[in-house]
Amino acid sequence: MAKSIMTVDDSASIRHCVRTTLVAAGYEVVEANDGLDGFNKFQRSAVHMLIADVNMPNMDGIELIRSIRTLPAGKFVPAILLTTESSPQMKEKGRAAGATGWLVKPFNSGQLLAIVRKILG
């Protein structure tokens, strides 16, 4: 059975790029267009990994990770922040919320797959 990865980004083009890369590598993808949508879909989906933007409407990526970590099913799901934010302060906020890693946009598909494969095996 393919592992399922949720991608959460308010940019349809970024979601498309992530989806295309992951599906081509054999993963199933669940898409959400903001943090609140992602949180709601996470509760209804069996997700093995989360990839989320930081800056989104309704709920940002850091708050999304913080919220998912309160759920029994979300305590240990790896969560990567895929964002234009790269300051040490933002990275620390992400780590404090429970982020597993950080990938700065723009990214290439090789970088994304390397991280996913390292985390999911």
Domain ranges of the chain: 4-120
Whole-model pTM? 0.94
Residue 3 CA, chain-centre distance (Å), reads 14
User: Where residue 86 falls among pLDDT bands split at 50, 70, 90?
Assistant: confident
Find all residues with CB under 8 Å of 19, minimum gap 6, and list them.
7, 29, 31
Task: Please give the mean pLDDT across all residues of the chain.
Answer: 94
pLDDT of residue 90: 87
- Indicate the CATH number of 4-120 among 3.40.1190.10, 3.50.50.60, 2.40.50.100, 3.40.50.2300: 3.40.50.2300
Q: Is the pLDDT of residue 75 over 90?
A: yes
Per 3-state DSSP, the chain is made up of helix, strand and coil in percentages (nearest 5) of 45, 20, 35
Asked whether residue 1 carries a pLDDT value surpassing 80, the answer given is: no
